[in-house]
Amino acid sequence: MEVFWYIIIAIVLTIFFILDGYNFGTGIIHLFLAKTEKDKEIITKSAGLFWDFNEVWLVAGGGLLFMAFPTFYASVFSGFYLPLIIVLWLIIFRAIGLEFRSQFNYQMWKDIWDKSFGVSSLLLALFFGIALGNVVRGVNLGGIENGIAAFEGHYFFLPLWNSSFSPLSETPGVIDWFTIIIGLISVVTLAIHGANWIILKTNSSINNKLKSVIFKLNILLFILTVISLFVWQIVNPNSLDNFFDKPYLIVFPVIYFSGLFGLFFIKKLKKDIHGFILSTLVIFGGITSSLASLFPVILPSTHKQNESLTIYNTAAHEYGLSVALGWGIIGIILVIVYLITQNKLLSGKIDNMDYGH
């Protein structure tokens, strides 16, 4: 039952990063490339019509995590308290940036909320990547310092950074040179995904330019990926063991690199949906590869004094997991119906659809 709920939660959170990920990406593109008022309005609309539904998946993932792995939930939400508060504020400012922009027809008003939307989207992409970097790197469970524990074995607390800025420190911070690399990969990936979404859903004047931008960003993504694989071996020398022990898991890195190499042909793709599918494969493959490398661990310990958190030592009681099965299926069906309905109502190009007035 633990494996079942782990897979369900992984799917729900991956869907969130695929769906809300293009909203983050449209914000990044909007911040740097949207110059005319018409393009700004259309690109804002391509995110604004979808953002509230997409974040349903984040709420669902958080609820399922609390239900299935309460010890992990308690550990992460206390240990990552500072970055989670920052993420909460960024989500708020991204939302009000989208919703407030068109309330008054004053240029200064629009410029303020355009910056709110763009900067918060950029930082959200960065911080979610940094979060993945922390999970891959591991944390100081128990707050061990000089062999003495400050907390129980499944708790921790991380500062935003420490003086060494190193992932190899005994007491690492949330932000270090390794998590920054993963954060940059997230920013570039979601910028590509957002650009593909804009091409797919709008007729903005920068669509042709975006294909060149995607190509250039993909080169950067490839370089960052190679660097991350190298430094990952420094931070965690055993990071690839799962792929050798369970060769079938190699399918996830294959999905990632298939999407990555496919995006080099973005200018030759005949249908807009193909680019979006390729960037979706990159996101799906990247997240699942990271999870597969850790399984069954969900939060590694950076030392041997306290064991890592796994799906087995953090799970709820078997009875609770089985009772939740029925309600979880009902909830997932409702969310899927919501997804199908929304996509049917908002199919095709959205240039002439009304939003924010």
Query: Tokens representing 357?
Result: 């007035």
Q: Where are the alpha helices (DSSP H) in 246-317?
A: 251-262, 272-294
Determine if the pTM surpasses 0.85: yes
Q: Which of 57, 72, 75, 73 is nearest to 13 (CA)?
A: 57
13: helix, strand or coil: helix
- pLDDT in the model for residue 323: 83
b/e code 203-213 from CB counts within 10 Å (16+ = b): ebebeeebbeb
Task: Please give the average pLDDT of every successive group of 10 residues along the chain, which has 357 residues.
Answer: 89 93 95 90 88 87 90 90 91 90 85 93 95 90 76 82 85 91 96 96 92 96 95 88 91 96 93 95 96 91 85 87 83 85 83 70
Query: Tokens representing 59?
Result: 């709420």
Indicate the length of the chain as a whole number: 357
How far is the C-alpha of 23 from the C-alpha of 89, rounded, in Å? 16
Query: Tokens representing 111?
Result: 């410029």
Omega of the bond leading into 296 within 30 degrees of 0 (cis): yes
- pLDDT in the model for residue 276: 96
Structural domain spans, the chain: 2-345
